[in-house]
Amino acid sequence: MHYLLALDLSHEPERIVDAASSWVVGTNHRIDLLYVPLSFPMDWGQEATSETLATLLEVQDQQRDAAVGQLQTLLERIPRDNRGEALVTEAGDAADRVLEASKQRSAIMVGSHRRSGISRLLLGSVTDRILRLADRPVVVLHGD
């Protein structure tokens, strides 16, 4: 099996990576780590200046570089025989990007923040969308 573990790099991703590792240790299964950068809204009801756009692009580049470094560090937590790649997609809808990247994998692994109530309603759930739309098995991991 070849898993895609989607991470948002918040809320102690080490726990999620460790939980995923426990699924594959002692097997020939591999785990690739995936991060989808935040997408900045470009429609603020006013024309953005070229300076503003350049700043946003610079922030996105910095975010991407930081994510690559974090993913490389997290990859080291996975046993060598099970270690795949560290991947960062283009910014966009997280669920869509995860589903697209999963096409070359056997299954998807996602972490859950266990939000409920208003926070879940307002923030939505990437995990819920992936569960509803995936055409392959999805493993939901809790890092506790």
Give the start-to-end residue ranges of the domains of the chain.
2-41+49-141
- With a cut of 60, say whether residue 68 has pLDDT above it: yes
pTM of this structure: 0.84
Numbers of helices and strands, H then E, in the chain: 5, 5
Question: At the topology level of CATH, where does 2-41+49-141 sit?
Answer: Rossmann fold (3.40.50)
Q: Which two tokens stand for residue 45?
A: 């009801």
CA distance 31 to 117: 32
**What's the residue count for the chain?**
144
The pLDDT of residue 51: 83
- The 10s digit of each residue's pLDDT in 9-65 is 887 899 999 999 999 999 999 999 999 987 766 555 556 678 877 887 788 888 889
- The 10s digit of each residue's pLDDT in 111-129 is 876 666 655 554 458 888 9
